[in-house]
Copies of this chain bind each other. A is one copy, B any other.
Amino acid sequence: MTHMASAGGDTSADNVGSTGGRTVAPRPYRLADVPGPLARDELAAIDAWWRAANYLAVGQIYLTANPLLREPLRAEHVKPRLLGHFGTVPGLNLVWVHANRAIRQLGLNAVFVAGPGHGGPGPNACGWLEGTYSEVYSHIPQDAAGMGALFRQFSFPGGVPSHCAPETPGSFHEGGELGYSLLHAFGAALDNPDLTVFCVVGDGEAETGPLATSWHANKFLNPARDGAVLPILALNEYKIANPTILARIPEPELLSLLRGYGYEPIVVAGDDPAAVHQAMATAVDTSMERIGRIQGAARDGADGARPSWPMIVLRTPKGWTCPPVVDGDQVEGTFRAHQVPLPGARTDADHRAVLEQWLRSYRPEELFDDDGKPVPELTAQVPVGERRMSANPVANGGTLLRDLYLPDWRDFGVEVTAPGATRHEATRVLGGWLREVTRHNPDNFLTFAPDELASNRLQDILEVTGRNWQAEIDRRDQKLDRGGRVIEVLSEHMCQGLLEGYLLTGRHGVFTCYEAFIHIVDAMFNQHAKWLDASSAVPWRRPIPSLNYLLSSHVWRQDHNGFTHQDPGFLDVVLNKKASIVRVYLPPDANTLLSTYDHCLRSRHYVNVVVAGKQPQADWLSVTEAAEHCARGIGIWPWAGHGDEVGTMPDVVLACAGDIPTLETLAAAAILRERLPDLRVRVVNVVDLMRLQTQDEHPHGLPDSEFDTLFTQDRPVIFAFHGYPWLIHRLTYRRTNHDELHVRGYRERGTTTTPFDMVMLNDLDRYHLVMDVIDRVPSLRERAAGLRQEMVDARWTARAWTREHGEDLPEVADWNWPYQRN
């Protein structure tokens, strides 16, 4: 550890003593003569950039006009609502300018991740100084008018948000919900050997769970194959109203923590700009030198022992360079500088005067020429073209996207001679294909799992790769590999966050998870879906690969694990997001799963949620049939119904979505066919849940006419559904026949049981579905009363059996479709 603490300077503070209700402006500072790697000119230039970026940030927060202060600041120049967080901005700008120095000196290919919340003014300012902002937004040129537009649009109606967002050039990380910066940074670095990610982690963000565990992402970063992440912990000590934990533990304890996470921290601390610039330059130089050494050794074939990566602890005042005292309260260096230091600038003449002094303290006249353009001293510091972090294509991953080579999924399908004649573990079959996807795409496809890859039956992937593991490997361990293409870590947050970082930078992947526990990342899914949505409207962004979930170990096969493992509600969360972004698929067997996943890996800019079983289940559709059925997304299975010829109208529709509901529906259809042979039964299977919505709700929505053709306008529909039943009502409430739609699905009443008992608990079993048909088809009520009672009895028999034997009645467990295809 190198501790680079500068002497505390008072360059930015006026008299802070007993100020009563005074508001004190910061004084312009001159750079002290501090020794370090920066020559006097270079120090001055770097500080000029920093001042320029800080000036532009303050301007964004406060001004709608008069950007260069060419006239005295008046109330109407100040925004009516003051938004954005200044507190973290000077730190972000400091890292940016020092990263630029390293980029220029070392020819780095680098991107920037801004973790702290609402720090958007910083990267916006840097992007404008680098010219990128003007290149991607023609209405914001690099001149006085453009500066005015840059200021005005910030957190203004129709403008840009207060944090980094899709609109921010060079950002692939949204700064809205905190906790994911480091995961996105590491995800970007995977398979990007030449990339350096400067990742600023806020000390508030560092308190979140996802961030706290994501330091361990260094256990999955291969120095030979992957790029580097330089975490910069921005220790400005305060959140909105509180100090941060990491700022209020002794520094040795903090360094012990960071070393325990596997980093070698370098501390840069101080409040004197010159001293901090010199210390930061040294810290970045040292970090780059260490990264180079680590990567060099690994790429020269060293043994691959996990290195201790450098990181920087940047301890500078909150709101550094802002007014030190406002209305008598210390502001700079306290929580009061977190948001907007001078809240009364529009209405309070004193505040406004101090705001003007504050802005002038950055000496804008030295930074921008008469036209408002950055002076040559600033532009000389801008890296060339795509080396600018604001213009790096890595942050606009769609531009770098390479299609996956996908072997024909049909070659991996199972042979289906007759419906139900064979059984397969659907995800296991998928795993065979994913193995080849992994093999053929060795540098842009990864699979993530929270210790559930094999549990979800995707282990065939491990025939061509291992699990990525940079930590120690013991002889008892299996399938660990420094170059592994599977990342397993018992953190859904890490799986999701690393994959997001990988996707956002243009590569492809799959996240497989137990269905119930995917709720752990509900919030991350929400934010990613919002990114996809918002970025679709940003003209210079290109679509990125879809986020693909494979949820298995699903609710209907968690009987033995019990209630805690039963939750199909992620679908409800997903369907709250913009219809243009989300897709939900429930393939009923192995071949439909293959076809579905092939589609998902070819898609762009979606979130694809696929729920599939891992237990041996009957195969229903051949490869050819699966391809057609999945292309339709929904359809009649004519071989499963009866009396349902073209041109006739069924007496009842049995609909199903999900593998277990499909099984139970077919078993019910078989009972009806045997016992009520004159009843016209139609079986409809739904793979693509979005087909149920209307066309104006979702692009996949079936036209009403087609929906009515499938589901009739007035016949009872018994719908067996994988998830919570009301989701089907929500999707279909506008459909003609909705009043006749009766849904069976999961409700919160699970317990420790067997598979069929679990289904019975939720009235989704074959016997209950037959009872539902009898109850809903008026003509059956009397004549099928005997059959109905048989069904009731069959359920009690099945239940009693499970309680005695601990497994399902053989005639249920071994049931198979008893007919040939029509």
Contacts and interface: CB of A to CB of B under 8 A. Distances in A.
Contacts of A805: 80
Interface stretch (A3-11, A140-148, A645-653, A725-733): A725-733
Interface string A686-724: 000000000000000000000000000000000000001
A27 to B, nearest CB: 21
Given A213-B212, A245-B219, A576-B569, A803 B158 contact: yes
A137 interface: no
Interface stretch (A171-179, A350-358, A618-626, A788-796): A171-179
Given A208-B493, A522-B519, A159 B752 contact: yes
Contacts of A520: 177, 179, 522-523
A488 B207 CA distance: 11
A452 B204 CA distance: 12
Nearest to A477: B243
Contacts of A471: 243, 245, 248-249
- Which 3 pairs, one residue from A and one from B, show the smallest C-beta to C-beta distance? A257-B260, A176-B564, A209-B209
A453 interface: yes
Contacts of A162: 560-562, 752
Contacts of A239: 451, 490
A101 interface: no
Interface string A749-771: 10111100100000000000000
Contacts of A665: none
Contact of A491 (B207, B451, B516): B207
Contact of A752 (B161, B480, B576, B752): B161
Interface in A152-192: 155-163, 165, 174, 176-179
A569 B219 CA distance: 35
A176 to B, nearest CB: 2
Contact of A451 (B204, B250, B565, B733): B204
Contacts of A159: 752
A209 B204 contact: no
Would you call the interface of chain A mostly helix, strand, loop, or mixed? loop
Contacts of A195: none
A207 B494 CA distance: 9
Nearest to A569: B576
Interface string A422-460: 000000000000000000000000000001111100000
Nearest to A213: B212
A84 to B, nearest CB: 9
A41 interface: no
Contacts of A480: 242-243
A130 interface: no
Given A576-B748, A752-B160, A806-B157, A253 B259 contact: yes
Nearest to A467: B242
Number of copies: 2
A186 B204 CA distance: 21
A47 interface: no
A534 interface: yes
B491 A753 contact: no
Q: For this complex, into which size category does the number of interface residues on chain A fall? A: 35 or more
B208 A216 contact: no
B752 A530 contact: no
Given A254-B260, A454-B241, A455-B240, A752 B209 contact: no
A435 to B, nearest CB: 16
A316 to B, nearest CB: 14
A262 interface: yes
A147 B249 CA distance: 50
A519 B523 contact: yes
A282 interface: no
Given A158-B753, A158-B803, A241-B453, 9 more contacts: A155-B752, A157-B754, A161-B562, A161-B564, A163-B564, A165-B562, A208-B209, A209-B214, A529-B748
Given A239-B490, A261-B257, A560 B81 contact: yes
Contacts of A578: 747-749
Nearest to A738: B733
Nearest to A525: B519
A241 B451 contact: yes
A588 to B, nearest CB: 23
Given A83-B560, A560-B81, A805-B80, A533 B748 contact: yes
A63 to B, nearest CB: 11
